[in-house]
Structure 1
Amino acid sequence: MFNYLITLAILFVVSTKYCFCMDSQSLNNSFVSGFSPAVATWYGSPNGAGSGGACGFANDVANPPYNGLISAGNQNIFKHGQGCGNCYQVKCTENPACSGFPIVVTVTDECPGTCNNEAFHFDLSGKAFGYLAKLGQADKLRNAGRINIQYQRVPCKYNTGITFKIDTGSNANYLAFSIEFVGGDGDIGSVELLPSKPKGSLYMQKSWGCTWKVGIPVGTNGPYSVKLTTIESRSTIIATNAIPGNWSPGKYYHSAANFS
Structure 2
Amino acid sequence: MELNLKRQIGIFCVLLILPALCSAAFTKSRATFYSTSDGLGTPTGRCGYGDYGRTVHGGSVAGVSNLWRDGVGCGLCYQVRCTNPSLCNSNGAYLVVTDYGAGDRTDFIMSPAAFSSLGVNSTANDELRKLGTVDIEYQRISCSYPGQNIVIKIKESSTNPGYLSIVLFNVGGTCDVIAIQLSQSGSNTWVSLQRVDGAVFQISNPPSGTLRFRFQVNCGSGLEWRLPKNDIPANWRAGATYDTGIQF
Q: TM-score, normalised by structure 1?
A: 0.76
Structure 1 segments of 4+ aligned residues over 6 angstroms from their partners = none
The one of 114, 139, 157 equivalent to 1:128 is 114
Specify the alignment match of 2:169 in structure 1: 180
Specify the alignment match of 2:32 in structure 1: 41
Specify the alignment match of 1:195 in structure 2: 184
Give, in whole Å, the separation in 1 of the partners of 2:131 and 2:38: 15
Aligned partner of 2:63: which letter?
A
Q: Is 2:225 aligned against 1:236?
A: yes
Specify the alignment match of 1:250 in structure 2: 239
Give, in whole Å, the separation in 1 of the partners of 2:204 and 2:171: 24
Distance verdict in 2 for CA 1:227–1:99, change over 3 Å: same
Deviation at 1:232, TM superposition (A): 5.3
Give, in whole Å, the separation in 2 of the partners of 1:217 and 1:248: 13
Deviation at 1:211, TM superposition (A): 0.8
Distance verdict in 2 for CA 1:144–1:95, change over 3 Å: farther
Deviation at 1:102, TM superposition (A): 3.5
SS in 1 for 2:177: coil
Deviation at 1:123, TM superposition (A): 0.4
**Superposed CA offset, 1:115-165 (max 9, x none):** 2x42x5210001000011224343343233211111112223222111112
**Superposed CA offset, 1:2-58 (max 9, x none):** xxxxxxxxxxxxxxxxxxxxxxxxxxxx96941121111010237522235111112
Q: Percent identity?
A: 29
Larger Rg: 1
Structure 2: unaligned runs, 5 residues or longer: 1-19
The one of 65, 80, 84 equivalent to 2:70 is 80
Distance verdict in 2 for CA 1:103–1:146, change over 3 Å: same
Verify the 8 A CA contact 2:77 2:172 in the aligned structure 1: no
Deviation at 1:177, TM superposition (A): 0.2
Q: Is 2:58 aligned against 1:67?
A: yes
List aligned pairs for 1:202-217, cutoff 5 A: 202-217=191-206
Verify the 8 A CA contact 1:49 1:126 in the aligned structure 2: yes
Verify the 8 A CA contact 1:179 1:211 in the aligned structure 2: yes
Aligned partner of 2:246: which letter?
A
**Superposed CA offset, 1:185-242 (max 9, x none):** 4531111113225453222121211111123356x201x2321122453243222224
Structure 1: unaligned runs, 5 residues or longer: 1-29
Aligned partner of 2:35: which letter?
G
Aligned partner of 1:133: which letter?
G
Distance verdict in 2 for CA 1:83–1:94, change over 3 Å: same
Aligned partner of 1:49: which letter?
L
Q: Is 2:95 aligned against 1:105?
A: yes
Q: TM-score, normalised by structure 2?
A: 0.79
Specify the alignment match of 2:133 in structure 1: 146
Verify the 8 A CA contact 2:151 2:169 in the aligned structure 1: yes
Give, in whole Å, the separation in 2 of the partners of 1:47 and 1:99: 23
Give, in whole Å, the separation in 2 of the partners of 1:250 and 1:244: 14
List aligned pairs for 1:43-58, cutoff 5 A: 43-45=34-36, 48-51=39-42, 53-58=45-50
Give, in whole Å, the separation in 1 of the partners of 2:172 and 2:100: 20
SS in 1 for 2:46: helix
| RMSD over aligned Cα atoms | 2.6
Aligned partner of 1:89: which letter?
Q
